[in-house]
Chains A and B, each alone.
Chain A
Amino acid sequence: MPVITIQHVTKKFGDTVVLKDFSAEFSDGEFITLLGPSGCGKTTMLRMLAGFEKPTEGEILIDGVTVNSATAFVPPEKRGIGMVFQSYAVWPHMNVFDNVAYPLKIQKKPKDEIRAKVEKILEIVHLSQYAKRMPSELSGGQQQRVALGRALVGEPKMLLLDEPLSNLDAKLREQMRFEIKEIQESLHINVVYVTHDRSEAMTMSDRVFVINSGVIQQADSPYEIYTHPANQFVADFAGDINFLKGVSEGGRIRLKGVDDVLAYDGDLTGDVDVAIRPEQIRIVPDKGHIRGRILNEYFMGDVDDCRVKVGEAELRVAADASVYRRFGKHEEIGLDIADFLVFPDTGDQFRKILT
């Protein structure tokens, strides 16, 4: 049985439609990420799971119990959920211990049990020595852990995280990613994680729901999202990518604005968008698959980040670092394309983030 079932949920604020006919099932133990640009509706979905917002239409079931529908509503405090807020929401008038112990106190657990459980959780989030500190004496990262501990202490069946890492500095953010993932696996807990950061989504999730303008674009594993994006938006949002216009006919794609062609064995014909990830392109001295001119090079250490002009388009190429300065500026070079994606050219401005 799925832990969460979302059936045809639509959410409107006044006349603005924030989520459109959202349906999904999250299974036991899954780490689910809702990924999308700000304003796409991901946070609203999370807040509906928590019970802070009510769907305009549709139903939500947690553990088979209807928590949101036209007739039923279970308030947040009755849902048995843990949640970490973007602003941490650590209560400034309680010390670390009291913050974490709060859910257990509400459940009127005996004192000994509270102490034991809080201490265990503080150990898990590496805050044992800070139990008596006030939140104002903690760093952002430590407050984050308090929030996480508080969300976990009641042993909820589900943990909701609302962009929990966005207020941390880059290094800490990366470290916390792995810690959250580790905790999730060791406690075998269901997680719904909201973020606009694709690398967070990629590293932690079992499944990623890519959302744009209130509509699920694709729901799949990070690998599938990256390698087989459902459309241009997902391809673009899941990682750096170059787009070229082309026409597909007779097993080849003729790129517009240049004479070059790419071999293609797919089914699409007519106007297409060809999408190529920067790391799938190799710079070669001979003719290669397509011809281009080097515009600029940025040495990044591990790669040589090049801008290459192909016809009217500008491609980003993550070339091998050893290629750096092997070719001069404006020198004509060949590009080998190891892999590329083809989408029908619908004329949509998919890169524009629709809010």
Chain B
Amino acid sequence: MNPAKNHCFDIKWVLMLAVVAFLLVFQVFPLLYMVFRMFFASGHFSMDAVKRIYSYALNRTCLKNTLVASGLTMVFGVLIAFPLAFLIGRTNLYGKTLFRTLFVTTYMVPPYVGAMAWLRLLNPTVGTLNVFLKNLFGLSGAPFSIYSIGGLVWVLTTFYYPYAFITISRAMEKMDPSLEEAARISGASPLKTLITVTLPLMLPSIAASALLVFVAAASCYGIPSIIGVPGRIYTVTTRIVDYVYVGSQEGLTDATALAVFLMVMALILMLLSDFIVGKKDYITISGKSVRPALVDLGKWRVPLTVLVAVFALIVAVLPFVTVFATSFTVNMGKSVFVPGNFTMKYWGILTSRKSIGKSMRNSVLSAVWAASMGMIVCLLMSYLLKRTKVKGRQIPNFLITLGSGTPSVAIALALIMTMSGRFGINIYNTMLIMVIAYMIKYMMMGMQTVSAAFAQVSPSMEEAAQISGAGWLRRIRDVVLPLIVPSIVAGWFLIFMPCFYELTMSNLLYADQTKTLGVELYNYQTYHSQQTASALAGGILIMVVLCNTLIYKLTKGRVSI
């Protein structure tokens, strides 16, 4: 046995065990403890907490709201996403690349930004769009109210249909186009082909994406907190945060029960979605890379393009324009274009106000830490997954996937309960607890990117270095790393971005010294000045777009959200 090799072998295992230990202590243990705590709230086993989920009126209402809103969002999301994916992926619609970019862009924008915009557009009394429609059709009252289940569903749908759009588009890309061509040559019209071949083949992906949308909408806190709270429509997530803020023992038990319920539902649906896709994998990749013959829309080409364009304008352009417009508005009752109603003041506040500067520093710092530590974990675990034959090598990957599927409120609550000194670790009120929460929630983004990169570097390249005498660290440094560096950088930003503008967990975990941008924005939006909040949101949007462009360039278009 070569002693040098033996030494490197050890380093590999030490690092990996450290990562696994981290996941066990900070993810598995807190979440399991939360479940345990639900049943043993009063010191001995009891189902009372579970019963209170549906017996206590306040809980029952928020549960109903969450299920109804998420269910409708799921239905509408898929109804929008499938036709869009088909039109953009398989037909000769005009401007497909632009539309795709627009729809996918929504995916990486913090959801609360959409809520802020729609709040301003569809406010029942002064909403810009409401006023516009009222004048246009001479209505007596506002046509829409954002402060309703309908309003909540609308904003949730506009923000979560991209999940379905991306999933369905990818599946459609992977489908062998000759399956559809075979139907055409058998005499089926394009529509008949869509109904008898494309749709049935896509069903598993559609079902899986529907579940994803449901889970995302049910776990969402940003949108219901900004729209639902003023509208007195409470959901499970907003109710949990309220309970935690109140801090009573009973409230905490209720919060725990709701969080466990939400988490279990989310995880079951996520695993179910994986199962559906894995089980019925109809997707066959053809031997030849034939470009799919595009369906000619004929006389429908222009009308459909206009329809999609109008949709894109309303859903992917209007909200962002609104946010920017709001940030320049003096008097919220009037349009920004009214003379004298334009100001740069609120953008000035971004740089001049000390508390904002501090929050920004906190956000950058915690996001940089989460992304960097997260990437180290992802690298090691991807290596374990793709390059070793260790039994149970899928377990860390599974845990990371589970973490990303766990609703943010549940992660935050579990960390609060376990990391406040009760079990010898007290990191409550520190930045570390936020960094850990971010990692648990967002590491999967990096894991997927890095795993995909690893899969593309043939193991024989590494073996060639090994046979040339390079040890493990040396091989990683000389061969593997250079080949996957673009993916590492892309993965880093994919973790960095959502952490940077994170709201839900930060809202539960921040202390005065560790307030982040998301919390700051939320407070301005809800209590102080919508214009300042909009300026903050505008700044975040600009940053998100810059980061995504960078990721796109780095990976030559392979990875971007």
How many residues in B have their beta carbons less than 8 Å from beta carbons of A? Answer: 26
Establish whether residues B182 and A83, one from each chain, have CB atoms under 8 Å apart when the complex forms.
Answer: yes
Known A-B contacts A76-B181, A85-B178, A106-B192; the reply to A91 vs B186 at CB < 8 A is no
- Contact residues in A for B183 (Cβ distance below 8 Å): 91, 102
- Contact residues in B for A78 (Cβ distance below 8 Å): 187
**A150 part of interface (Cβ distance < 8 Å):** yes
**B287 part of interface (Cβ distance < 8 Å):** yes
- Which of B182, B184, B286, B290 gathers the greatest number of chain A CB atoms within 10 Å? B182
0 or 1 for each of B210-242: is its CB under 8 Å from A? (1 = yes): 000000000000000000000000000000000
0 or 1 for each of A273-308: is its CB under 8 Å from B? (1 = yes): 000000000000000000000000000000000000
**Which single residue of chain B is at the shortest CB-CB distance from A85?**
B178
Q: Taking the nearest CB of chain B, how far is it from the CB of A193, in angstroms? A: 15
**B282 part of interface (Cβ distance < 8 Å):** yes
Q: Taking the nearest CB of chain B, how far is it from the CB of A27, in angstroms? A: 22
- Contact residues in A for B293 (Cβ distance below 8 Å): 47, 52-53
In the bound assembly, the distance between CA atoms of A50 and B201 in angstroms comes to 23
Establish whether residues B186 and A89, one from each chain, have CB atoms under 8 Å apart when the complex forms.
Answer: no
Establish whether residues B287 and A166, one from each chain, have CB atoms under 8 Å apart when the complex forms.
Answer: yes
Establish whether residues B201 and A83, one from each chain, have CB atoms under 8 Å apart when the complex forms.
Answer: no
Q: Taking the nearest CB of chain B, how far is it from the CB of A200, in angstroms? A: 16
- Contact residues in A for B184 (Cβ distance below 8 Å): 51-52, 75-77
How many residues in A have their beta carbons less than 8 Å from beta carbons of B? Answer: 35
Residues of A209-239 contacting chain B, CB below 8 A? none
0 or 1 for each of A80-92: is its CB under 8 Å from B? (1 = yes): 1111011101111
In the bound assembly, the distance between CA atoms of A320 and B188 in angstroms comes to 56
Kindly identify which residue among A75, A87, A93 contacts B176, using a CB–CB cutoff of 8 Å.
A87
**A71 part of interface (Cβ distance < 8 Å):** no
Kindly identify which residue among B181, B185, B186, B201 contacts A93, using a CB–CB cutoff of 8 Å.
B201
- Contact residues in B for A102 (Cβ distance below 8 Å): 183, 186, 188, 196
Establish whether residues A87 and B288, one from each chain, have CB atoms under 8 Å apart when the complex forms.
Answer: yes
In the bound assembly, the distance between CA atoms of A165 and B115 in angstroms comes to 56
**A43 part of interface (Cβ distance < 8 Å):** yes
In the bound assembly, the distance between CA atoms of A92 and B176 in angstroms comes to 11
In the bound assembly, the distance between CA atoms of A90 and B176 in angstroms comes to 10
In the bound assembly, the distance between CA atoms of A156 and B127 in angstroms comes to 62
Known contacts A83-B181, A91-B182; can you find 19 more A-B pairs with CB under 8 A? A47-B293, A52-B181, A75-B190, A76-B184, A77-B185, A85-B182, A86-B178, A87-B286, A89-B176, A90-B182, A91-B197, A91-B201, A92-B201, A92-B282, A93-B200, A93-B201, A107-B187, A150-B186, A163-B288
Q: Which residues of A contact B (CB under 8 A)?
A: 43, 47, 50-53, 75-83, 85-87, 89-93, 102-103, 106-107, 147, 150-151, 154, 160, 163, 166-167
Identify the 10 closest CB pairs spanning chains A and B, nearest first: A89-B178, A103-B186, A85-B178, A52-B293, A89-B182, A87-B286, A106-B187, A76-B184, A83-B185, A92-B282
Q: Which residues of B contact A (CB under 8 A)?
A: 176, 178-179, 181-190, 192, 196-197, 200-201, 282, 284, 286-288, 290, 293, 296
